[in-house]
Chain A
Amino acid sequence: MEKTNKASQGLSDRTSDIILVVITALVLFIVAYPLYYVLVASFSDPYDVYAGKTFLLPSGFTLRGYAAVFADENIPTGYLNSIKYTVIGTIFSVVMLYITAYPMAQRDLPGRKVLSIFFVITMYFGGGLVPTYLVVKDTGLIDNMWALFLPGGVAVGNMIIVRNYFQNSIPHELIEASEIDGCSKLRTFISVVIPLSMPIMAVMVVFSMVAYWNDWFTALIYLTGSEKAPLPLVLRNVLIKSSVSASQSATISGGYAELNKVTEMIKFASIVVAAAPMLIVYPFVQKYFEKGFMAGAVKG
């Protein structure tokens, strides 16, 4: 009995290893292939893409798509705008998270419960699109970059994760020791708590970066000037509406068919250009995700 058990277990372990690897490899392929295909197509001749010659490798290698992307008058501006919004927005958001989460992590802070309710309510109930729009308008933020940051205020879900991290992962003795040494609460926050919270800060920085880099809806509503549009919003013209700008079509010799092909090239190239920065950045902080998530998810 024991023998058969062992034998069958050894067999099933090896079999299940194979099954698991095959299934996960299939999933891996399904997720990765569309991205790979776009990358390959962006370097290929559009006629070959149309003919289905670019399933595995580029065909008729060309950089014209990328040339056209950067020849556009709007895309480079959009790119710079997105970088600006991402940098400023990330700094703003993380500072807001920290200055909210730290006081909220003090269990003996008078009024903590009321403040907590004050913030958490906004997770479940809000004014909605138009009432918020009207307040943004009344505070003079239409067509102002700060309309992208201020109305978001505190990201309460993330704030709770950071607060829980402060409560659970920073040794209380260190904070007490620093306060016995005569440090004020602010001083303790700056010199003890912040340096010890780098894993969760890394997670929050990436979350904010991704959110701002990819956001376009806020800009669609609040930024009316096209010179202020972030990259995704600029790309809406080419990706969704399939229209190319004057300066791009000027580079095209030939008729409508040629224009159509070049539009496709621009689409592939602009997808790569827009998606690449975040796809390059996140693997570096990936190891923090799981740890940070776990530390923050435990209820304090």
Chain B
Amino acid sequence: MSTATATAAPAQQAPPLRKKSLGRRVADNWQLYLLLLIPVILTFIYKYIPMYGIQIAFRDYKASKGIWGSNWVGLDWFERFFTAPTAGRMIKNTILLSLYSLLWSFPIPIILSLMINQVRFPRYKRVVQTVLYAPHFISTMVICGMIRIFLSPSGGLVNLIFGTQIDFLTESSAFRTIYIASGIWQDAGWGCIIYLATLANVDTTLYEAAKVDGASVFQRIMNIDLPALLPMAVLNLIMAAGSLMNVGFEKVWLLQTDLNKATSDVIAVYVYQQGIESAKYSYSTAVSLFNTAVNLILLFIVNRIAKKASDVEFV
């Protein structure tokens, strides 16, 4: 009895000592809330109101009637998309372009950074890093301009080197290669940054120990560096897999020609053409919502697998 009151008393007194009241703490931080005011308002207006506006995918949106005044049409727009002759092709192109990009562009930065990290000439290493980052800082518009110049059938660099006169951008079989190779050229170097930063934190005594044990550079890479990179690599892979349907609109749109559409026709371009160019607001929103839904499902599945596999949750 007496021990019970003895332990209960300090517990009752403790909260007011440790914590001020909620109202008091809110009042103490009023300046911080003031700072957050504009970001919260902007996020609400330009991120949350559009989410609410997604419902036009289920309505026949007319600007004059507003969102609520427009007729409810249910899944009509989705039906129209799935019965469109090019729908299957667009879904397939979107997934394949994205999947192949991921398969090629995921391992390359890892291999590159494992090699760069082992280069023992600091100056040279610096130069390599600087040059490899460069293409990342160039606009997609300019990159696509370069691609078009290099692939030009008359006087383009690629045709000059191989002595051919092929108009690559009219070949639908070449589109994915062009898209993925140029993507690797532009961003593989930049993708190394996070891996190189991770490798810079590897305990150097491990290398010394490995050297004493007679491990070759290759063995050091495989047994010290690669395991150090693994968590970051897995994280990157999961993030990428979760946005598999997010094919960049910009590059596809700029490299698309009438003749390579068999492989370059993707959902993102269609959403833009229907929504902005043709002002079919409801239809475009429905197509885009389908895309987002697939993405969210993928993200959810990948996240669940990752959680099971490594006890880490990313979302």
Contacts and interface: CB of A to CB of B under 8 A. Distances in A.
Interface of A: 5-6, 8-9, 12-13, 16-17, 20-21, 23-24, 27-28, 30-32, 34-35, 37-38, 49-52, 96, 99-100, 102-104, 106, 108-111, 115, 118-119, 122, 124-136, 139, 150-154, 184-186, 189, 210, 213-217, 221, 232-233, 235-236, 238-240, 264, 267-268, 270-271, 274-275, 278-279, 282-283, 286, 289-291, 293-294, 297
A24 B128 contact: yes
Given A16-B216, A103-B35, A186-B35, 15 more contacts: A13-B216, A16-B218, A106-B32, A118-B40, A126-B51, A128-B289, A129-B288, A152-B46, A184-B31, A185-B31, A214-B141, A240-B148, A271-B146, A282-B137, A294-B200
B315 interface: yes
B142 A153 contact: no
Contact of A128 (B189, B215, B285): B285
What is the interface of chain A mostly: helix, strand, loop, or mixed? helix
Nearest to B253: A217
Interface string B187-209: 00100011011101100000000
B271 interface: yes
B148 A50 contact: no
B249 interface: yes
A186 B26 CA distance: 15
Given A50-B155, A119-B43, A127 B140 contact: no
B156 to A, nearest CB: 9
A110 B193 contact: no
B183 interface: no
Instruction: List the 4 shortest-distance A-B pairs measured between CB atoms, nearest first.
Output: A127-B50, A239-B145, A131-B53, A214-B139
Nearest to A235: B141
A286 B130 contact: yes
Nearest to B211: A9
Contacts of B145: 235, 238-240, 267, 270-271
A290 B193 contact: yes
Contact of B50 (A5, A132, A267): A132
Contact of B42 (A132, A153, A221): A153
Given A127-B54, A217-B250, A221-B276, A20 B118 contact: yes
Contacts of B22: 110
B106 interface: no
Contacts of B140: 214, 216, 232
Interface string B151-176: 00011010010000000000000000
Most buried by B among A130, A214, A286, A290: A130
Contacts of A111: 26
B43 A153 contact: yes
Contacts of A264: 149, 155
Contact of A216 (B119, B139, B288): B139
A115 B211 CA distance: 50
Interface string B110-131: 0010011011110010011111
A122 B39 CA distance: 13
21 contacts: A24-B119, A28-B128, A28-B132, A34-B146, A34-B157, A52-B160, A99-B39, A119-B39, A127-B54, A134-B53, A135-B53, A154-B39, A213-B139, A217-B250, A232-B141, A240-B148, A274-B138, A274-B141, A282-B137, A286-B130, A290-B197
Contacts of A13: 216-217
A7 B190 CA distance: 37
Interface string B69-95: 000000000000000000000000000
B302 interface: no
Contacts of B275: 129-130, 133
Nearest to A13: B217
A296 B84 CA distance: 46
Contacts of B249: 217
Contacts of B155: 49-52, 264
A131 B276 CA distance: 11
A106 B299 CA distance: 29
B133 interface: yes
B45 interface: yes
Contacts of B142: 214, 232, 235, 239, 271, 274-275
Interface string B25-53: 11001011101101110110111111111
B45 A131 contact: no
A6 B54 contact: no
Given A34-B185, A153-B39, A103 B141 contact: no
Given A135-B53, A216-B141, A102 B32 contact: yes
B281 interface: yes
B124 to A, nearest CB: 7
A16 B281 CA distance: 59
Contacts of A119: 39, 43
Nearest to B125: A24
Contacts of B135: 31, 35
Contacts of A184: 31
B193 A275 contact: no
Contacts of A28: 127-128, 131-132
A35 B157 CA distance: 12
B132 A27 contact: yes
A128 B214 contact: no
Contact of A153 (B46, B130, B201): B46
Given A130-B288, A294-B201, A279 B138 contact: yes
